[in-house]
Structure 1
Amino acid sequence: MDPAIAGIFIAVFVLLILGGGLWIGVALAAAGYVAMEFFTSRPPGLLFGTTLWGSNNSWSLTALPLFIWMGEILFRTRLAEDMFKGLAPWVQRIPGRLLHTNVVGCAIFAAISGSSAATAATIAKMTIPELRQRGYSDYMIVGSLAGSGTLGLLIPPSIMMIVYGVAAQISIGRLFIAGVVPGIMLMVMFSCIVGGYALMRPKRIPHRDPHIPLTTKLWESRRLIPIMVLIIAVLGCIYGGIATPTEAAAIGVTGALVLALIGGGLTFDSFWTSIVAATRTSAMIGLILSGAAFLSTAMGFTGLPNDLAAWIVNMDLPQPMLLLAMVLIFLTMGCFIDGISMILLTTSVLLPAVQAAGIDLLWFGIFVVLLVEIAQITPPVGFNLYVLQSLANRSIGFIALAALPFFIGLLAAIVVISLFPEVVLWLPSQMLGR
């Protein structure tokens, strides 16, 4: 192995795995410093300063903290709770019954949050007590929450899509549109998993509630109106070309504040807490972006991306084998590194090889997001597992096992979009043209 490659990988793994409480952004930057200091003749200090500025000086990136803040506002108000009450009456006759509120609820909240952990946490706080009280099995309660929570990364607006779009210089609007059909497909697959479990384990599903008249269902559905209005406002502005993703994010924040105020869930404490939480999350992501950007730049100076791209091209792997290799790389990284770091670490190395293989970068973005979704439920670093561990009071091992059917479902989704790329590319081509 080339000394530069070995040195960089050793530095990354030592800093990330053995670094204890070391911040991921700092660990990535330190690995970049090792690469610059020992494997190039360039001074690392000046390059770090310019990379730090360049990685965060992006207009597209300003949508990130706004979408995070919008999700935090909804997370702390009655709007999220109303969503469960509006959905529950409609799923009584479907196999799995109220378990489907986890899937549909996560899909709806994903369309206004953009965060997997926030989606899983918000829906879990509402549904875990209700479903336990009605006698549903913890196994499928936490499993469906862990799996469906990952929809926050795929159904737009998505924080991961923004990060990938900035890193790969791909239109974020096109990425958002490309995620719609795969997101719906994945939601249906998750509901089928829940239904299949209910059919195989009927004794673990309580008897359905007494018949609810249609008028009652429609009356309860009024609770969904504010959420649906917000989704239409945000995504409609983007897809209709009325606003950029950043402007739509600002509209979403304003709409969330107005709806929370009208609904009586907005207090000074909830408002301030949402700002602090959004600021903390945005700062964390900004630090990771900076560290990963410096590491990516440093790896560029070592020549590693070009060498790796040339190596892959010279191997003349067919696209299926190349994609399989990337799946294995991402699954391995997902055991140790968070999703944002995975995207930023790999784009500089893999994108030249991806382009050389003739793979569409828009399609590849959705492919990567699906792999990052898998990382959210892969121990030991799966964020959704830790979120649900604290909310469900269950072990990581139990939650990871419960999420296994949805892990398989995500792998199946990757196979589907690989065999049928138009699942990803059809809608953007229809709405925006090639």
Structure 2
Amino acid sequence: MLHIDSAPSTPGKVKMEKSSYFFTRGGGARWHYSLAKLTVWSFAFLALILIFFLRSPAPSTITSAADPSRRSLRNYNWGGSAWEKRVRASARARSSNGLTVLVTGAAGFVGTHVSSALKRRGDGVLGIDNFNDYYDPSLKRARQALLERTGVFIVEGDINDEALLRKLFEVVPFTHVMHLAAQAGVRYAMENPGSYVHSNIAGFVNLLEVCKSVNPQPAIVWASSSSVYGLNTKVPFSEKDRTDQPASLYAATKKAGEEIAHTYNHIYGLSLTGLRFFTVYGPWGRPDMAYFFFTKDILKGKQIAIFEAANHGTVARDFTYIDDIVKGCLGALDTAEKSTGSGGKKRGPAQLRVFNLGNTSPVPVSELVSILERLLKVKAKRNIMKLPRNGDVQYTHANISYAQRELGYKPTTDLQSGLKKFVRWYLNYYSDGKKAVE
């Protein structure tokens, strides 16, 4: 005997145990009851969907606070004849043998300096940046204004925007791409891991997808990181050392980038050069870097945390001045061979390289603070703390012999000289320290 309780509770998933169910005596009543029950559930489900869409914000109103990993996915205004004219003018080289370079992350620290150096020597340069709020966007806007005075136009957009990238390559046949756009910072990965996957992996893949399909394919130089060495204890770090023990998600995404680069080189013939930067510092730097916020906090009279490893071990970094990094970047661009693919198909073996760009002179963080004290003429309030398990490593030291041999790379700025230039810029940018201590 059939009972009402035997009907499934999930609407839309009516299972008939017997073919005669609806034709037995009283079956008509049961059918109408089931249909009514299904209709009620359907209306309830549709009402929930309607309420969801009415209460959900429009895509353009999504903020970084609501979803930080998507903060760069805004609607940007690009296109049109006037826009294309600016793009072409910025990317036009002064000489016939000059490079035509698309610089991603052009409003970033390294991106600004590289773009400026390329433009000064006569290459064509076009920038792209999403001006996200990982750190103060006003600093990025100031860098943008600096580049505009040199003739570099920065397109405001996201490297995940395939249509925009394809349009840029349609307007300008770039010979090279300097890919510097990335979500930086080791510690921030613990707060917002999605932003690292979005920028450092998905963004990189999107860029490579576009580059593989254009004709001619550009040669690509891109920023990896010294963080890929992770828990490696052999020093100095060599490009031949293992890099399969990342200590942070940031490091893992950069390591993933190197493997992705290998794949696109192997399958599509893209010429790819990865640069492992070692703790870059200098004027127009990133506020999330220790030397920068140490300077700010020392001027404010605030305590600064100086980390030490287990058993009072020294924490040291291979601090590399921005001008030396720029020389390495330009050397990589100048020695990059042409990609060998066409129409997304590989025609022959293509160049694949990775280089350390460091200063090869590690300095303890405590000594960094002592130099800042002398330059600022202010005593720091030091708070010695144990190195936390947040992705930071104890020691970095670059073996740069490969870059010296292949790129002619030779760093010339020691930490004392480099910090002196940074402090001069910092005090000037923040109105002789007035804004810096507000």
TM value normalised by structure 1: 0.27
More strand by share: 2
Q: RCO greater where, 1 or 2, for CA within 8 Å and sep 6 or more?
A: 1
Structure whose alpha-carbon radius of gyration is higher? 2
